[in-house]
Chain A
Amino acid sequence: MEALALRSPVEAIPAAEPLSDVARAAAGDVRAFEQLYRTHLPRVNSLVRRMTAGRDADELTQDVFVRVWQKLATFRGDSSFTTWLHRLAVNVVIERFRTDQVRRARMHDGEDIFEMLPAPAQTRDIGMDFEAALEKLPDGARQIFVLHDVEGYKHHEIATMLEISAGTSKAQLHRARMMLRRHLK
């Protein structure tokens, strides 16, 4: 499949997107890109905020859109633009988490990243709202929960993105769900 060229990629873009915006933005049209930004901002912002528990969310959201602009020429149109954009957003967040951590010297499947950051203090407040409880989860469990249950990624995809085993992904998802069930009210 040919990569999305800078000019006349119209036929490569799925009908779900406003045909002209992605194509024009890929060709360097900042106004068209701004339209894409405004269209996709709520979902990207929600994704980023939930994965990061609000830490540096605005800055990361901006980074996501800058990255989209940079990589727009590589969008092949073989998935929907929304799917592609969200995948980019997830990558930006994951990369930020990696740089915030102490580098691991050993070859692991990455499980220890979920233990290294201290879990925020567990609270017994049953009245806490679901989203607030989501924010309080340990980073790894929260990310996997957001990716799987909120964003719809499969375990093998999450395993690739986070460089962990699918088994770890399943275990952390279950852990997150078990912690969150107290905050449904």
Chain B
Amino acid sequence: MFPAALAIALTLTQPAPRQAAPQTDETVAVQRGARLAINNFAGEVIVRTWDKDAVRVIARHQTRTQVRIRPGSAGLSISASGTMGPQGSVDYEITAPAWMPVRVEGTYNFVTIEGAQAEVFANTVRGDVIIKGGTGVITAKSVEGEVQVDGARGKVTVSSVNEKVRITNTSGDISADSVNGSITMTGIESKSVDASSVNGTIIYEGTLADGGHYSFGTHNGDVALGLADSPNATFTFRTYQGRINTDFTLDGYRPEDAKRGRRVTATLGNGSADVSVETFGGSIRLRKGTVARSRGK
């Protein structure tokens, strides 16, 4: 049920063919050190990489929309504007050098960035963000969409307000956040992980490195850690209404203490890593091996 204005607008537009020829196809040479910034109000932004020192921009959009590719002192900036009135949506397929840092901002964007070997930044309100690769500072955020990061190395910050967060095969410092969505981290090598959700479940499968710091917190969700072999860790558990169960034999662990948020400390091995797990209403599980057995998604 569309409001009147939208209904009128609908009758005035022609449906676009599925694979229309792109309205923009330009390649611009860039120099090492340049950064790529894409600002798109709505549409799809796909960025892939190659080994040329150039950026190719393919864009599909209405004729009234003009794509601007502007070189500047910091690098290349890509945006669109309406030549007559409001800007429509633009779907981009961009190929950039792997060394080039990429930044994508916009509101109704689905963003995919693959193969980057430099910094990546993607922020959208509605739309999923998928990042494969990335080195250095990697930031991926959506309000309404899912966010996935795979194969990144560095300082990784991932957040979705409403939907789930997935981080896989990634190394470095990780910070993951969601209000309503679950956070799943698998194949992680890190000395610093901070994951927090209100409603969502948190799953972590990865190293607990010596001297590392790991913090998992949720209000209503469960926290499940899938640990390989015998890590060296000191666990601090707090749960108000939930339970703790563990596949491991933990030193100093008294399950009867784990209620009403009282702190329960337990050790595995030499206790080197520092692991804090908190949940108000959910349960805490320590599993040997994997946690995320085909959960049907």
Residues of A within 8 A of B (CB): 59, 99, 102-103
Contact across chains for B81 and A59 when beta carbons are under 8 A apart:
yes
Cα distance A103–B121 when bound, in Å? 12
User: Does the CB pair A102–B81 fall under 8 Å?
Assistant: no
- Top 5 closest A-B pairs, CB basis? A59-B81, A102-B121, A99-B105, A102-B139, A103-B123
Taking the nearest CB of chain B, how far is it from the CB of A42, in angstroms?
23
A64 to B156, CA, bound (A): 37
Task: Specify which chain A residues have a CB less than 8 angstroms from the CB of B139 in the assembled complex.
Answer: 102
User: How far is it, in angstroms, between the C-alpha of A59 and the C-alpha of B83 when the chains are bound?
Assistant: 12
Pair count A-B, CB < 8 A: 5
- Smallest CB gap from B157: residue in A: A105
Q: Do most interface residues of chain B lie in helix, strand or loop, or is the interface mixed?
A: strand
Measured CB to CB, the closest approach of chain A to B241, in angstroms, equals: 29
How far, in whole Å, are A99 and B39 apart by their CA atoms in the complex? 11
The residues of A that contact B81 with a CB separation of less than 8 Å are 59
Which residue of chain A is the closest to B81 with respect to CB atoms? A59
* Chain B CB within 10 Å, residue with most, of A59, A99, A102, A103: A102
Give residues of chain B (64-86) contacting chain A, Cβ–Cβ below 8 Å.
81
Number of interface residues of B (CB under 8 A): 5
B39 to chain A, nearest CB (A): 9
Q: How far is the CB of B65 from chain A (nearest CB, A)?
A: 14
Q: Chain B: which residue is nearest A55 at the CB level? A: B72
**Interchain CA distance A59-B121 in the complex, whole Å:** 24
B119-145, CB under 8 A of A: which get 1 and which 0? 001010000000000000001000000
- 5 A-B pairs with CB atoms under 8 Å apart are A59-B81, A99-B105, A102-B121, A102-B139, A103-B123
Chain A residues near B105 (CB-CB < 8 A): 99
Contacts of B123 in A (CB 8 A): 103
**In the complex, what residues of B have CB within 8 A of residue A99's CB?**
105
- Which residues from chain A contact B121 at a C-beta distance below 8 Å? 102
Shortest Cβ distance from A138 into chain B, in angstroms? 15
| Distance (whole angstroms) from the CB of A150 to the closest CB of chain B | 25
Q: Which single residue of chain A is at the shortest CB-CB distance from B105? A: A99
**Nearest Cβ on chain A to B142's Cβ, whole angstroms:** 13
- Which residues of B are found within 8 Å of A102, using beta-carbon distances? 121, 139
The docked-state distance in angstroms from the alpha carbon of A162 to that of B105 is: 22
Question: What is the minimal beta-carbon distance from B76 to any residue of chain A, in angstroms?
Answer: 15
A113 to chain B, nearest CB (A): 16
Closest to B72 in A: A55
Docked pose: A103 CA to B123 CA in angstroms: 10
Bound state CA distance, A61 and B70, in angstroms?
Answer: 19
Q: A47 CA to B168 CA in the complex, in Å?
A: 48
A100 to B30, CA, bound (A): 22
Query: CA–CA, A103 to B157, complex, Å?
Result: 12
Considering the complex, which residues of chain B in the window 152-172 have a beta carbon less than 8 Å from any beta carbon of chain A?
none
Determine the residue in chain A with the shortest Cβ distance to B175: A105
Residues of B within 8 A of A59 (CB): 81
CB interface residues, B 98-133, toward A, < 8 Å = 105, 121, 123
B37's nearest neighbour on chain A, judged by CB, is A100
A103–B81 CA distance with the chains assembled, in angstroms: 24
How far is it, in angstroms, between the C-alpha of A99 and the C-alpha of B123 when the chains are bound? 11
Measured CA separation A102–B122 after assembly (Å): 11
Residue of A nearest to B137 (CB): A102
